C-alpha cells in the first residue's frame, strides 16, 4: 500500500458509505449526540466514531486496516514494528517497561523519568537502580555495577529539548544483552529535522522507543506510538503487554488521527520541519543571549526554545507573557520558560516573542543567563515501588513527614518528573524542596497540592 494512503481512515469511510444500520455501539449511533458534542464534531466525524469490528479492525489483534496503518508508520519512523497508542506515551512507557522487566528484576533508569516510568515499576514489581548521570561513561559504569540489570531506560530529549547521541549506549547495551528503552515522548519529530540536530533514538539503535505523536507532530491529544527498533524484545511480547494496559474500545477518531498524521508526515514532514527549524534558528539568534541553546556534550532539539530573563524567575516571565502578551509557554521553572515551536506556529510568533522579551528585559542589554536548576535530591530508597504502593499509609504534616517513608509521588507538572516517589525517604532536602515548591506558582501533582501535608507509610 502506498505511503500516501491512510488505510485506517479509509476503512472508517468505507464502513460509513456502506450505509449499514448500526445496531451496535457506540450509543450515539453515529448521529448528532444530544449533549452538545455535535458543535465540535461534524456529522461525518460522529458517524465515523466507530467501535472495533471486522472491517475497521482491532487494536489489540490487528490484522486489517490498523495493521497496515501501523506498518506504514513503522516504515516512516524507521522501526521494525509500530503500535498505535490511544492513552498517550504514558501507556507506551508502561508497556515497554513491562515488556522488559518483571517482579524482582532490576531496571536501570535515569531519574529525569516521567512519572509513568515509576508507575510501571509498581505494575511490574521491578526494582529501580537510578543512574548517577547519562553520559556514556556513567551508563557504562552503572551497567558494570549492576550486572543483574535486565534493561536500561532513558528519557531523551529532556523537557528542555536536550539529549545525547545514543549510538554508543545502544552498542554497549547490545554487547551486554541489555535492552535499551527510550522515552522519546518529546522527540517524535526528530527524524524529520535537517541533519546535525539531535538524532532519533531509533536511528541510534534503541530497542523500544515511545513517541507522543500528539506533543510535537500534530495528531490529536492522547495519541502516541510505541516502536520496536532493535531485536532485543519480541514484538509479540510488546503487543501482549499493551493488551494488558489498553482499552478494548480504542477511539477510532484518535486512531484515524495517527493514521492521517503519519500520512501528512510522509508527504511533506521533512519540508515543514525544515522550515520550522529555520524559523527557530532565526528566533534563537534574535533572542541571544537569552536563549539557552547549548549544553556541553549534548545535542539539542532546535524547536524547543528555553529562555531566561536575568533578574526574573521563570514563573514571573510566564505570568507576564500570558497576562501582557497573550502568549502561553509549554512550562517554566525557577530560571526559565520553555516554548515548543513547530510548523503550525502563527507567522508573527517570532516578532511577538522578541518584542515581549525586549520589553521584559527593560531595554537593557540582554545578559547571558546561567543554567542551573537544582539537581534531583539524593535518593534513599527504602522499599520497592510495588511494596510501597500497596503498604498502609497515613497523612501527616510536612514537618512531621521528615524522616518518614513517602507513601506518594510528588511532582511538578509539567514535566512530571518525581521529586519523591513512594518507598523513598523524605529527607530534609526533599522536605525543604517541598516547602519551597509550596511558595511557587508551580502546578504540583500530589495528594495535597499545597504540600502542607504528605502521605507517608
Other Cβ atoms closer than 10 A to 158: 21
In degrees and rounded to multiples of 5, residue 211 shows phi and psi of: -125, 125
* Residue from 11, 62, 114, 164 binding ligand PLP (CB under 6 A): 114
Q: Supply the minimum distance, in Å, between the C-beta of residue 15 and ligand PLP.
A: 28
* Residue from 72, 74, 86, 185 binding ligand PLP (CB under 6 A): 185
For residues 32 and 245, which CB has a smaller minimum distance to ligand PLP in the complex?
Answer: 245
Q: What is the 3-state secondary structure (H, E, C) of 235-256?
A: HHHHHHHHHHHCCCCCCHHHHH
Angle at 412 between CA 410 and CA 418, to 5 degrees: 45
* Residue from 6, 69, 73, 93 binding ligand PLP (CB under 6 A): 93
CA distance linking residue 104 with residue 125, whole number of Å: 6
* Residue from 52, 90, 134, 384 binding ligand PLP (CB under 6 A): 90
Per-residue binder mask for ligand PLP (CB under 6 A), 211-250, x = binder: -x-----------x--------------------------
Q: Supply the minimum distance, in Å, between the C-beta of residue 114 and ligand PLP.
A: 3
Select the span of 31-39, 83-91, 235-243, 306-314 touching ligand PLP (CB under 6 A): 83-91
Is 123 near ligand PLP (CB under 6 A)?
no
Residue 424 and residue 455 in contact, taking contact as beta carbons nearer than 8 Å: no
Task: Report the largest interatomic distance among the alpha carbons of the chain, rounded to a whole angstrom.
Answer: 69
Residue 247 vs residues 52, 145, 290: alpha-carbon distances, Å: 11, 39, 45
Q: Supply the minimum distance, in Å, between the C-beta of residue 409 and ligand PLP.
A: 14
State which residue has the least CB distance to ligand PLP. Answer: 88
In degrees and rounded to multiples of 5, residue 343 shows phi and psi of: -60, -25
Give, to the nearest 10 degrees, the angle between helix 167-176 and helix 136-145. 20
Kindly tell me the burial class for residue 248, based on how many C-beta atoms sit within 10 Å of its own C-beta (0-12, 13-18, 19 or more).
Answer: exposed
Q: Could you tell me which of 326, 252, 254, 306 has the C-alpha nearest to residue 53?
A: 252
* Residue from 52, 82, 99, 116 binding ligand PLP (CB under 6 A): 116
Select the span of 21-29, 191-199, 413-421, 445-453 touching ligand PLP (CB under 6 A): 413-421
Per-residue binder mask for ligand PLP (CB under 6 A), 319-348, x = binder: ------------------------------
Q: Could you tell me which of 414, 416, 418 has the C-alpha nearest to residue 426?
A: 418
Q: Supply the minimum distance, in Å, between the C-beta of residue 414 and ligand PLP.
A: 6
CA distance linking residue 34 with residue 48, whole number of Å: 17
Select the span of 144-152, 241-249, 266-274, 410-418 touching ligand PLP (CB under 6 A): 410-418
Sign of the Cα torsion 75, 80, 84, 90 reads: negative
Q: Supply the minimum distance, in Å, between the C-beta of residue 190 and ligand PLP.
A: 14
φ/ψ region of 289 (left if φ > 0, alpha if ψ in -120 to 50, else beta) reads: alpha
Q: Supply the minimum distance, in Å, between the C-beta of residue 444 and ligand PLP.
A: 15
Is 415 near ligand PLP (CB under 6 A)?
yes
Is 124 near ligand PLP (CB under 6 A)?
no
For residues 385 and 416, which CB has a smaller minimum distance to ligand PLP in the complex?
Answer: 416
For residues 7 and 385, which CB has a smaller minimum distance to ligand PLP in the complex?
Answer: 385
Residue 267 vs residues 270, 302, 325, 419: alpha-carbon distances, Å: 8, 22, 35, 42
Question: Could you tell me whether strands 337-340 and 127-130 are parallel, antiparallel, or unpaired per DSSP bridges?
Answer: unpaired
Select the span of 36-44, 286-294, 408-416, 424-432 touching ligand PLP (CB under 6 A): 408-416
Is 89 near ligand PLP (CB under 6 A)?
yes
For residues 93 and 151, which CB has a smaller minimum distance to ligand PLP in the complex?
Answer: 93
How many chain residues touch ligand PLP (CB under 6 A)? 16
Sheet of strand 410-412: strand arrangement:
417-420, 410-412, 444-445
Question: Could you tell me whether strands 127-130 and 106-109 are parallel, antiparallel, or unpaired per DSSP bridges?
Answer: parallel
Total H helices, total E strands in the chain? 16, 17
Select the span of 3-11, 34-42, 87-95, 291-299 touching ligand PLP (CB under 6 A): 87-95
Is 187 near ligand PLP (CB under 6 A)?
no
For residues 159 and 160, which CB has a smaller minimum distance to ligand PLP in the complex?
Answer: 159
Is 414 near ligand PLP (CB under 6 A)?
yes
Q: Say how far residue 205 (Cα) sits from the centre of its chain.
A: 19
For residues 82 and 212, which CB has a smaller minimum distance to ligand PLP in the complex?
Answer: 212
* Residue from 155, 257, 293, 308 binding ligand PLP (CB under 6 A): 155
Q: Which residues contact ligand PLP (rule: CB under 6 A)?
A: 88-90, 93, 114, 116, 155, 159, 183, 185-186, 212, 224, 414-416
Amino acid at each position: 500500500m502506498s505511503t500516501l494512503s491512510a488505510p485506517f481512515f479509509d476503512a472508517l469511510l468505507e464502513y460509513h458509505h456502506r450505509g449499514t444500520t448500526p445496531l451496535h455501539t457506540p450509543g450515539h449511533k453515529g448521529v448528532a449526540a444530544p449533549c452538545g458534542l455535535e458543535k465540535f464534531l461534524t456529522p461525518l466525524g460522529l458517524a465515523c466514531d466507530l467501535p472495533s469490528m471486522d472491517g475497521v479492525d482491532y487494536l489489540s489483534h490487528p490484522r486489517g486496516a490498523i495493521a497496515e496503518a501501523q506498518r506504514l508508520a513503522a516504515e516512516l519512523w524507521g522501526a521494525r514494528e509500530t503500535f498505535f497508542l490511544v492513552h498517550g506515551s504514558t501507556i507506551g512507557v508502561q508497556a515497554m517497561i513491562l515488556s522488559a522487566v518483571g517482579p524482582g528484576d532490576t531496571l536501570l533508569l535515569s531519574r529525569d523519568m516521567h512519572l509513568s516510568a515509576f508507575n510501571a515499576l509498581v505494575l511490574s514489581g521491578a526494582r529501580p537502580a537510578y543512574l548517577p548521570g547519562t553520559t556514556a561513561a556513567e551508563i557504562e559504569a552503572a551497567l558494570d555495577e549492576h550486572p543483574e540489570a535486565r534493561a536500561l531506560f532513558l528519557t531523551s530529549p529532556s523537557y528542555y529539548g536536550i539529549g545525547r547521541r545514543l549510538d554508543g549506549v545502544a552498542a554497549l547495551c547490545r554487547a551486554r544483552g541489555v535492552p535499551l528503552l527510550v522515552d522519546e515522548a518529546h522527540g517524535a519529530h526528530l527524524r524529520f529535522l535537517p541533519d546535525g540536530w539531535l538524532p532519533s533514538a531509533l536511528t541510534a539503535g534503541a530497542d523500544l522507543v515511545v513517541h507522543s505523536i500528539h506533543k510535537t507532530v500534530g495528531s490529536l491529544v492522547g495519541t502516541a506510538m510505541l516502536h520496536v527498533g532493535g531485536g532485543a524484545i519480541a514484538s509479540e511480547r510488546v503487543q501482549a503487554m499493551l493488551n494488558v494496559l489498553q482499552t478494548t474500545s480504542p477511539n477510532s477518531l484518535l486512531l484515524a488521527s495517527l493514521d492521517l498524521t503519519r500520512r501528512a508526515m510522509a508527504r511533506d514532514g521533512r519540508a515543514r520541519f525544515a522550515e520550522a527549524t529555520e524559523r527557530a534558528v532565526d528566533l534563537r539568534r534574535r533572542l541571544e543571549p537569552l536563549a539557552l541553546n547549548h549544553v556541553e556534550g549534548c545535542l539539542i532539539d532546535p524547536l524547543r526554545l528555553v529562555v531566561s530573563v536575568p533578574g526574573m524567575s521563570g514563573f514571573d516571565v510566564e505570568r507576564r507573557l500570558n497576562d501582557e502578551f497573550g502568549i502561553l509557554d509549554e512550562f517554566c521553572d525557577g530560571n526559565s520558560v520553555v516554548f515548543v515551536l513547530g510548523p503550525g506556529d502563527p507567522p508573527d510568533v517570532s516578532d511577538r516573542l522578541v518584542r515581549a522579551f525586549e520589553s521584559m528585559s527593560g531595554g537593557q542589554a540582554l545578559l547571558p543567563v546561567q543554567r542551573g536548576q537544582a539537581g534531583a535530591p539524593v535518593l534513599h530508597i527504602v522499599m520497592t515501588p510495588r511494596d510501597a504502593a500497596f503498604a498502609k499509609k497515613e497523612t501527616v504534616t510536612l514537618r512531621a513527614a521528615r524522616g518518614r517513608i513517602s507513601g506518594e509521588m510528588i511532582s511538578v507538572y509539567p514535566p512530571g518528573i518525581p521529586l519523591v516517589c513512594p518507598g523513598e525517604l523524605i529527607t530534609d532536602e526533599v522536605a525543604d524542596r517541598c516547602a519551597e515548591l509550596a511558595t511557587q506558582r508551580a502546578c504540583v501533582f500530589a495528594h495535597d497540592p499545597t504540600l502542607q501535608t504528605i502521605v507517608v507509610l
